[in-house]
Amino acid sequence: MQFSDLNLIDPLLRAVAAEGYETPTPIQQKGIPPILAGHDLLACAQTGTGKTAAFALPMLQRLAAAPVEGRARPIRALVLTPTRELAAQIGDSFTAYGRHLGLRNTVIFGGVGKSAQIGALRRGVEVLVATPGRLLDLAADGVMQLGRLEILVLDEADRMLDMGFIHDVRRVIALLPQQRQTLFFSATMPPDVQELAERILVKPERIAVAPVATTAEKIAQSVYFVERTDKRALLEHVLQDLAIRRAIVFTRTKHGANRVADQLNRASIGAAAIHGNKSQNARERALADFKRGATRVLVATDIAARGIDIDDISHVINYDLPNIPESYVHRIGRTARAGASGIALSFCDQEERAFLADIERLIRMRVPVVEDHPHRSTLPLPGQGRAFSPDRGQGPRPQQPGRRPQQGPPWAQGGARPQQGGPRQQGAGARPQQGGQRPQGGPRPPHPQSAHRPQQGGGPRVQPSSAPPGASGRDDASAVGQAQGTPRPSSRPMSFRPRV
């Protein structure tokens, strides 16, 4: 199939040819026709599959087919993204694809001043690419009107929810007209993402170009078991391989990214860190140096996992394994883009082995282990606890042999509560109620922990002493204490409860 087979207009075909695109990707083949037809869309696709062109090309064609009369340029299309980097790259794509159409677009995000963004909005734009926070700030300032919006795109919806933007997204949607076309793109489809999609989409077309939460087939994955204190030395050892031309190293924290980048630079390995505490100018400079090869390694947190669109990244290294399994899929998706192959390496310390097991259940495969390296962990490799079982699903993990089941007492799980002190002996009489009068003439039932317990096997039984008439407010424990010569407790009602 060619792009001309998708009923795209000539200005868009010329722009696509100028970008070097020859044949549409699967997400473009499946997504462009329903968007051109005006349908809502729910698309599940991995990163690096051409999603931006899949929604940008038909959006531009629909906007160009129905121009707005007059000199005003209202905002007619809105693209929401989770990160600044991703927003900037989508804005560049709209500029490249719409170069022959005369439609304006701009990008707004936090971390920079508002004045330039306000100026662009006042001049008028048809397409707005934004992060949720800055969009709400400018809307509160009254510098934009969204009442004439025609198309809404939520890109990387699952990532926005992971980053805590769900409330901001709902506030943005409340500002938009009810009559609109909504396009929903997500790499994974957890329950909260499905719930959001069902609330904002109307009879959507559903497409998926790969199974949910699978990794690209051309990514060679492997894991190194290492102690946390040896991770830095292992990273330097791995980067001695000159086959690693351009690599992204992912850390869990911002401070960790700075420490790793400084360590690599001290080892004469060109590296730069990118994360949310960096200024926008510093982040753009680090990305530019990485793209042109001035730095060999880019150390990033998950904020950059979906905001870096560079085709020739040879390796992704998980210095810290993510505690959210879906983040692993997004991270390693930075390599093997545009049909190329790639390599993903992961360092796993003792505390992260549970994360690895969760990742393997999600991607439904075992990650091969690299054992031949100088910083191998001295702890035994995980066995059955790490093994992936496709039939196990998300149920509880199997009980280890020789260990007591970890569960509460039977009545905590809906069963009947046992009688205090075990089964009643025949002829023991009625059990006294808390705070009530003991029946006259009946012998006291034996205390479960006293020396008067009946002998096993039907042996002779020692009859307990009878309670004085009229005794009240005392239970078995107080009677035993008195029989042993201990002081009589207060008359406050007490109860003996078995240990749980």
Strand partners, 237: none
Strand partners, 342: 219
**What pLDDT score was predicted for residue 216?**
57
**What pLDDT score was predicted for residue 404?**
41
**What pLDDT score was predicted for residue 156?**
87
Average pLDDT over residues 283-294: 86
Q: Is a pLDDT exceeding 60 seen at residue 336? A: yes
**What pLDDT score was predicted for residue 452?**
45
pLDDT in tens, 44-62: 877 667 889 999 999 999 9
DSSP state of 464: P
Largest Cα separation within the chain, whole Å, is 107
Phi, psi values for residue 172, rounded to 5°: -65, -45
Q: pLDDT-derived band of residue 20, with 50, 70 and 90 as boundaries?
A: confident
**What pLDDT score was predicted for residue 491?**
44
- Which has the higher per-residue pLDDT, 215 or 84? 84
Mean pLDDT score of the chain = 78
pLDDT in tens, 132-179: 999 999 999 988 889 999 999 999 888 888 778 889 999 999 999 999
Residue with tokens 């290294």: 317
pLDDT in tens, 138-148: 999 988 889 99
Q: Which segment of 10-14, 238-242, 290-294, 350-354 scores lowest on mean pLDDT?
A: 290-294
- CATH topology of 3-208 equal to that of 219-363? yes
Q: Which segment of 250-264, 307-321, 364-378, 460-474 scores lowest on mean pLDDT?
A: 460-474
Give the start-to-end residue ranges of the domains of the chain: 3-208, 219-363
Annotation: CATH topology of 219-363: Rossmann fold (3.40.50)
**What pLDDT score was predicted for residue 158?**
85
Sequential DSSP letters for 176-229: S-SS-EEEEEES---HHHHHHHHHH-SS-EEEESS-TT---TTEEEEEEE--GG
pLDDT in tens, 254-283: 899 999 999 999 999 999 998 877 877 888
Superfamily name with CATH number, domain 3-208: P-loop containing nucleotide triphosphate hydrolases (3.40.50.300)
- Which has the higher per-residue pLDDT, 182 or 280? 182
Closest CA to 343 of 260, 471, 274, 243: 243
**What pLDDT score was predicted for residue 254?**
87
Q: Is a pLDDT exceeding 70 seen at residue 34? A: yes
Average pLDDT over residues 427-453: 48
**What pLDDT score was predicted for residue 59?**
97
Q: Is a pLDDT exceeding 60 seen at residue 490? A: no
How many residues does the structure list for the chain? 500
